[in-house]
Structure 1
Amino acid sequence: MSHDYSLIMGILNATPDSFSDGGKYFNLDSALEHIKLMNESGADIIDVGGESTKPGSKPIAEEEELKRVIPIFDEFGKNDKYNFSIDTRKSKIAEESLKRGAKIVNDISGLTFDSGMIDVIKKYNAACVIMHMKGNPENMQENPLYTDVVSEVYDFLYKKVSLAKKSGIKNIIIDPGIGFGKTVSDNFKLLNRLDEFKGIGCPILIGVSKKSIIGKSLNLKIDEREVSTAILESISLVNGAKIIRTHNVVNADYGRKLFYFTKYPSRIKC
């Protein structure tokens, strides 16, 4: 496929308490099987996380987070079939994962939680995802307020990208942080004006999979959000997203292919 093709980041939560699939892949064997399945279904990147960051969640100790993610990288990290990212705010977790083959650090704090994170990313010449979050997972949904959510998130990401570039980080992805310290209305405003974030000059990652933006706006329980997730992911592609972070790789792959063929109809061979 062309370089215009969007990418899919499949989610692997090695946690007992994530909002969508907590506990499902906490066992190493089930985690490894799910990685294989996501890869075969079209995932370009597998995003491994060992700490739940759902609203209200509390941080866990480094040792516990390492226990959850390192066995996965020990098994598959150096396998060329897989491209891994590590979803963490902590430089120690990032370094141990990068040592074992991860290529991307997905930092929900936008490089603000751990002062050592930039140096670790630079040391391993890794790519990074810089995300916006108001507050932290424990308090981020306690009445988040903005004067202009789009301009405030844009300014934060622009400044953090500039800092990362000055520090020597070359490959940067931005994420406006849907559901991280925003109201449902804030989230839709960001998606509506997503194209504006191209002005920062980095690929845009969007994660809406099964989130409350869907549940609250459509009054759907978590296990009822598969179809609406795929629809909102496709809308995100139309509005400028380059990478979709998702639980359901199959549906996201359908969405990106249809988006691609609609954008480039002459390239479909049938």
Structure 2
Amino acid sequence: MSAAEPHAHSSDRPASVRRRIRSSMAVRGVPLTGERTLIMGILNVTPDSFSDGGRFDTLDAALEHAAELTAQGADLIDIGGESTRPGAERVPVAEEQRRVLPLVRELARGGIAVSVDTMNAATALAAAHAGAAVINDVSGGLADPDMTRVAIETGLPFVVMHWRGHSAEMAAKASYTDVVSDVRRELEYRVAELIVRGVDPAKIIVDPGIGFSKNAEHNWALLGHYGELAALGLPVLVAASRKGFLAPLVAEGAAPDARDAPSAVLAAIAASQGAWAVRVHNVAETRAALDVADAWRRGARS
């Protein structure tokens, strides 16, 4: 068995896990347009993520959690094998693939739509071959120059986040003349470069990069001026769940999961603004918040 596939074959998985995967309601195709904001459930298979590091770093635990998130209403599962928390160190590509590829393969076999959260082109390509439906690159293709080629070759939806540097250095790069204008311009330039190189513009999704090279004031300004990002004319992913700028909204010293309530409210507001998707840890609470927002909109149309 290869280093990238250290886990047992799917036939060795507990029957209860396999049944939950098969019965989870999900679709391989991921729409990039539509009236409903999608929910991207976070599944970190890393030992050092800021919120849930180490909880799902075995295949069985990860499969169980993916099935649970899907049953709660996640439209796709975002799998990451390398932490991007502030100050995190890079992970060897072989180790990242060892963590994510068996999981991508198992979930795709069960009909669950998967996005792969990676900055490495080799991992993105291998995940696409394993059945991933979306490439979610927090560097927008800047960390690995081969990522553009992979986006073109696979034709998968490609999330392009605003990015200025790796986790170990990004705090030092949180300097802007006007954060909303600067982020929009930098995203616009990056998207234009990708299109010129051959990436299908119909497959590009943008992400303002909440928390990446940004302080709390920057984050709130970007969210408060969501319309400036939407004006790019591309689907927008909002990924703010449990991030540090929400900490002042809960009890001092509380664990990251105490930020789920403000995260869900933020997701509902993003949905009301037309966000393509929200990336969250607590799918059940987010699903309830988005259902309220949907009911409100239906009431306004009646």
TM-score computed with the length of structure 1 as normaliser: 0.93
Q: Secondary structure at the match of 1:12?
A: strand
Q: How far apart are 1:134 and its partner, in Å?
A: 2.6
Aligned to 1:155: 185
Say whether 1:247 aligns with 2:277: no
Q: 1:227 aligns with which of 253, 261, 277?
A: 261
Question: Is the contact made by 1:51 and 1:59 (CA closer than 8 Å) also made in structure 2?
Answer: yes
Matched, 1:65 2:99: no
How far does residue 230 in structure 1 lie from its aligned partner after superposition?
Answer: 1.1
- CA distance, structure 2, for counterparts of residue 168 and residue 237 of structure 1: 27
Q: CA deviation at 1:75?
A: 1.6
Structure 1 residues without counterparts, runs of 5 or longer: none
**Is the CA contact (8 Å cut-off) linking 1:121 and 1:128 kept in structure 2?**
yes
Instruction: Report what 1:13 is aligned to.
Output: 44
Greater Cα offset, 208-217 or 148-157: 208-217
Q: Which has the larger radius of gyration?
A: 2
| Aligned 8 A contact 1:134 1:182 in 2 | no
Mapping of 1:1-270 within 5 angstroms? 3-80=34-111, 82-142=112-172, 144-166=174-196, 167-169=198-200, 170-216=202-248, 218=250, 219=252, 221=254, 222-265=256-299
- Write the deviation string for residues 124-145 of structure 1: whole angstroms up to 9, x where unpaired: 1111100012321112123621
Distance 1:121 1:78 in 2: 22
* Cα distance per residue 1:135-170 (max 9 Å; x no partner): 211121236211011111101111222222331323
Instruction: Name the CA distance, whole Å, in 2 between partners of 1:23 and 1:117.
Output: 28
Stretch moving more, 178-187 or 195-204: 195-204
Q: Deviations over 1:90-134 (max 9, x none)?
A: 000000000010011100001111111011111111111000123
CA RMSD of aligned residues (A): 1.7
TM-score normalized by the length of structure 2: 0.84
| Distance across 2 between alignment mates of 1:192 and 1:128 | 24
Offset, 1:252: 1.1
- For 1:75 and 1:7, the matched residues in 2 are separated by 22
Count of aligned positions: 266
Secondary structure of 1:20 counterpart: coil
Cα contact 1:126–1:171 (8 A) shared by 2: yes
Q: Secondary structure at the match of 2:89?
A: coil
Q: Is 2:121–2:144's contact at 8 Å kept on the other side of the alignment?
A: yes
Q: Could you report, residue by residue, the CA deviation over 1:7-61 in whole angstroms, capped at 9, with x for unpaired residues?
A: 0000000100000000011011000011111111111111000000000001010
